[in-house]
């Protein structure tokens, strides 16, 4: 009886040591765990063929990759709209963006899955200082919130990010032909 019990204990120990925990991280994933800072900028030239309106979007994002394979991003997105017909007209609007999801590294790609309920856009402020710009801010906010489903869908379908360079200080990824550098801060 003692021999049988001992054999069962050894078999269980062998199974436990031989089986890799599905949540255990590979070395590259262990290296990714931490907090990163990213800045992004995109110019939308000539938004309308009938006018000289242009828009620029700038973002400062802090992303955290946790050892339990959850991730959280939070940052500020600044939209700047310029109209050259109205000399010096420049309207800026600031939004806060937060996302939560899960991640893993597979075949040289960071694969993030964002939960749609955990994508939040919140209007923070604008530089509107007259009735015209305040009306424009109100219209853009309304449009922005009406389009929030499409924005969430875009974030969720962003695809996998190919790892281009990965050091202790930074992570460079490529997605849809665009490269992005994430600087480790923790």
**Dihedral pair phi/psi, residue 5, rounded to 5°:** -60, -45
Q: Which pLDDT score is estimated for 16?
A: 36
pTM of the model: 0.77
Q: Which pLDDT score is estimated for 18?
A: 38
* Strand, coil or helix: 1: coil
**Alpha carbon distance 46, 134 (integer Å):** 22
Q: Which pLDDT score is estimated for 9?
A: 40
Length, in residues, of the chain: 186
**Dihedral pair phi/psi, residue 3, rounded to 5°:** -65, -40
What Cα–Cα distance (Å) separates residue 23 from each residue in 41, 70, 73? Answer: 35, 11, 21
Q: What are the boundaries of each domain within the chain? A: 23-184
The low-confidence residues of the chain, meaning pLDDT below 70, are 1-23, 45-52, 84-86, 148-152, 154-158
Q: Which pLDDT score is estimated for 6?
A: 38
DSSP state of 167: -
Please write the tens of the pLDDT for every residue from 20-58.
445 699 999 999 999 999 999 988 766 556 566 788 889
Residue with tokens 């049988």: 4
């Amino acid at each position: 009886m003692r021999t049988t019990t001992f054999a069962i204990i050894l078999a269980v120990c062998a199974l436990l040591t031989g089986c890799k925990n599905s949540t255990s991280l590979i070395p590259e994933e262990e290296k990714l765990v931490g907090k990163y800072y990213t800045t992004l900028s995109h110019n939308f030239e000539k938004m309308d063929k009938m006018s000289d309106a242009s828009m620029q979007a700038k973002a400062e994002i802090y992303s955290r990759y946790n050892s339990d394979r959850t991730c959280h991003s939070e940052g500020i997105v600044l939209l700047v709209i310029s109209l050259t017909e109205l000399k010096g007209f420049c309207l800026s609007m600031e939004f806060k963006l937060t996302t939560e999801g899960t991640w893993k590294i597979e075949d040289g790609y960071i694969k993030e899955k964002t939960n749609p309920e955990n994508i939040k856009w919140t209007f923070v402020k604008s530089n509107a200082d007259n009735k015209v710009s305040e009306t424009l801010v109100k219209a853009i906010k309304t449009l922005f919130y009406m389009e929030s489903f499409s924005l969430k869908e875009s974030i969720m379908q962003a695809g996998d990010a190919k790892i281009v360079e990965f050091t202790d200080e930074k992570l460079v990824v490529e997605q849809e032909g665009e490269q992005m550098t994430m600087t480790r801060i923790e």
